[in-house]
Amino acid sequence: MATFPDDCLPPEQYFESRQALFESINTWAKPRGYAFITQRSTKEKNGTSTVIYACDRSRNPPSGLLQRQRKTTTRRTNCLFSILAKETSNGNWALKHRPNQRFTIHNHEPSQQPSAHPVHRQLSRDTSQLTDLSNAGLAPKEIQTLVRQSGSLATWQDIYNRVAEIRRDTREGQSPIQALANQLDKEGFWSRIQFAPDGRVTAVLFAHPDSLAYLRAYPELLLLDCTYKTNKYGMPLLDMIGVDAAQRSFCIAFAFLSGETEEDYTWALERLRALYKQCNTSLPCVIQMYCN
């Protein structure tokens, strides 16, 4: 059985900031098979703070009596291993060992890999690279390959969670569809959205401004190509395509539909008719449809 080394406790010392202390103790813990998390923070009467940093397996495991929606394993062992961080009057932070012997011992074996600890897998708070890579269409697994070249231990799930967090922040409290509608309007897209009586979005149709210029020049031929369940919402995507004088195709508009019923296509084609009218152009002479 693997055991923790004798120097498992980080040495008592002073730091210029709480963040510097936290980074230092986790740098110490990383090669020794564990990690620290913030367990509790309290404000003293003199205005300074005291923080308990504990082993990241310190929380109590879930009760077996509770019915859990997700059947997942847990790393929690109620480990008592912990240290104190005290803020001084001049703003520095002092690392102190706790007096009771039980706080100096882990109740589990050390981890074999640092990647077993979320703290050691944390990504930089600079999200610009992740945002650019995600916007470029790279999947989390592909982004993981790139960020690991810089020494990160992040898993694809860590990256997926961070990208989702970035997108939530970007939406500023809006629902995804509200954010989409605002973004389409901001970038000058022609768009229409269909709502169900309960407020759910059932269809979205949008066209890029450049597509409208092409449509005015080449309205004669219309190709409709519907792909089924090619996105995470499982909504059919209807591609509306035109053809120019050189027999090259161009995108007129796209529509996410709730299904492939006659009503769904009727809604999309009525919106498309309105788009032709908006462009002040004639309706297509030839319409051809493909379904995948």
With 90 as the cut, is the pLDDT of residue 93 above it? yes
- Helix, strand, coil percentages (3-state) for the chain, rounded to 5, are 35, 25, 45
Average pLDDT in the chain: 84
DSSP conformation letters of 45-70:
TTS-EEEEEEETT-SPPPPTTS--SS
- Express each pLDDT in 101-123 by its tens digit: 999 999 999 999 888 898 888 77
pTM of the predicted model as reported, rounded to 2 decimal places = 0.56
Q: Give the count of alpha carbons within 13 A of 208, CB side only.
A: 9
**CA 56 to chain CA centroid, nearest Å:** 23
- Which pLDDT tens digit goes with each residue over 258-284? 888 889 999 999 999 999 998 899 998
- Residue identified by tokens 């909504």 is 235
Q: Is the pLDDT of residue 127 over 60?
A: no
Instruction: Give the residue with greater pLDDT, 125 vs 151.
Output: 151
Buried b (16+ CB within 10 A) or exposed e, 133-154: bbeeebebeebbeebeeeebbb
Q: Is 223 helix (H, G, I), strand (E, B) or coil?
A: strand
Question: If you average pLDDT over residues 227-231, what whole number do you get?
Answer: 66
pLDDT in tens, 136-156: 777 777 777 777 776 677 777
Nearest to 289 by CA among 240, 250, 232: 240
- Give tens-digit pLDDT for 173-194: 766 766 777 788 888 899 998 8
Q: Which pLDDT belongs to residue 67?
A: 60
Residue 168 has pLDDT above 90, yes or no: no
What is d(CA 200, CA 29) in angstroms, rounded to the nearest whole number?
A: 48
Confidence category of residue 226, pLDDT binned at 50, 70, 90: confident
**What are the b/e assignments for 201-214, b being 16+ CB within 10 Å?**
bbbbbbbbeebbeb
Q: How far apart are CA 267 and CA 194, in angstroms?
A: 9
14-27 residue pLDDT tens: 999 999 999 999 99
Q: Domain residues of the chain, as ranges?
A: 1-114, 122-173, 177-291
Percent of the chain exceeding pLDDT 90 equals 41
pLDDT for res 228: 65
